[in-house]
Structure 1
Amino acid sequence: MAEPNVSLAQDEFSCSVCLDLLKDPVTISCGHSFCMVCINGFWDQEDQKKIYSCPHCRHTFTSRPVVSKNTMLAEVVEKLKKTRLQAAPPDHSSADPEDV
């Protein structure tokens, strides 16, 4: 079966904390997704206050939410990475001796 040709923008799969493509994506109860390292780091800074929030929508949680990997989103991000690498133009940044 052929894979559908879906146009995906990288920013749709970016972490709003690090602004990079999601790595080990996790989804929290408000529905937003982050890199596991990013959300845990963000919440580590909120540990003293004992009130945790979503960095994207600011929804608050009275206890630190448990996160687990979003496997479906991880697969989509991996496919996006592979597609982006295949579509990347060749690097012509180095000059040949005759160019100088």
Structure 2
Amino acid sequence: MLNRYAIVLAAGKGTRMKSNLYKVLHPVLGKPMVQHVVDQLKTLDLASITTVVGFGAEKVQEQLGDDSEFVIQQEQLGTGHAVQQAESFLANKQGTTIVVCGGIPHY
């Protein structure tokens, strides 16, 4: 079976939230949205999870700890650009990569 990888998009400002709290760190059912997303990904037997961070990077990294590798999107230039930031982690890998939003928990 081919390896499977995940990229979690968690670099945006989340200005529509009208809050000083970084969007993906807003709690839903007692834990930050991004933690819900990563917890679900961990059930999929992935080779790796790479989270793209930008605004509030340190706090997101602190929240997720060893559950993810991290890459910083210095300048927020859109979703496609965010995915490109993970290229160095996945360039020599073979398999399937899924891209998920860190601010939209799904079950």
| TM bracket, shorter-chain basis | under 0.3
**Higher RCO, Cα 8 Å, sep 6+:** 2
More strand by share: 2
Q: Which has the larger radius of gyration?
A: 1
TM-score by length of 1: 0.26
